[in-house]
Amino acid sequence: MEALQENRNQNIGSIPLQRYNGISYIHTELNKIILMLVTQLLKNILLKMKKKKKRTIWVRKWINSRETLGASNRLLAEMREEDVNGYKNHLRMIPQIFDELLSKIGSVIQKQNTIPAKVKLEITLRYLAVGYSLYTLSSLYRVGKSTISKFIPEVCNAISIALKDYMRVSKTPL
């Protein structure tokens, strides 16, 4: 009977337990397998972190022609020189006032390697003047719709801060 009990202690199912320095063979092998799996998992995580996809900037070809064919450098430049009333109608201000406003907020709205502050202000003023859709503004000024939707609130905020001494806000609710 003792031999049968000892035989059961030495076997789990059909796998014999071999003792080596007091640690079961299966236990040791399982630990090795777990260690290999964890090591491989950590290597995969580290590789993914190293290979983190760099953000690619994709711009449509027609948008890249902003400097030569956009409304800011073509239409508004011509209107500024030849048709001040047309310029005023387009942006709802004369060129001198536009330049003054740009000097007050230009450094606030300009970011590195992005749309020039002048173009941002022109687009925002045109949006406020006539309420054009982002698609129309995008086509006219050759700036992406999502880009416009991000900077219009920033420019409006900069204008309100710069001109707070010139604006009076009613304290009574409408």
Share of the chain above pLDDT 70, in %: 71
Residues 46, 65, single domain; the answer is no
Q: Which residues pair with 20 in a beta bridge?
A: 23
What is the reported pLDDT for 87? 87
Both 44 and 122 in one domain: the answer is no
Same domain, residue pair 35 and 66: no
Let me know whether 101 and 129 are in one domain.
yes
The domain total for the chain is 2
**pLDDT for the residue 94:** 94
**How does strand 11-12 pair with strand 15-16?**
antiparallel
CA 46 to chain centre: 24
Residue 76 lies in a domain: yes
Query: Torsion angle of alpha carbons 110, 112, 114, 115, nearest 10°?
Result: 20
Q: Which domain holds residue 37?
A: 2-50
Q: Rounded to whole angstroms, how far apart are CA atoms 76 and 74? A: 6
Residue 56: inside a domain: no
Residue the block writes with tokens 């092998």:
29
CA gap 16, 8 in Å, rounded: 9
Asked if residue 168 is part of any domain, the answer here is no
CA distance 59 to 61: 6
Q: Is the per-residue pLDDT at 18 higher than 60?
A: no
Do residue 90 and residue 127 come from a single domain? yes
Q: Do residues 91 and 126 make contact, with C-beta atoms less than 8 angstroms apart?
A: yes
Higher pLDDT pick, 67 / 35: 35
Question: Is a pLDDT exceeding 80 seen at residue 37?
Answer: yes
Give mean pLDDT, residues 18-45: 73
Q: What is the mean pLDDT of the chain?
A: 79
Mean pLDDT for 142-148 is 87
Same domain, 72 and 140: yes
* Res 52 pLDDT > 70: no
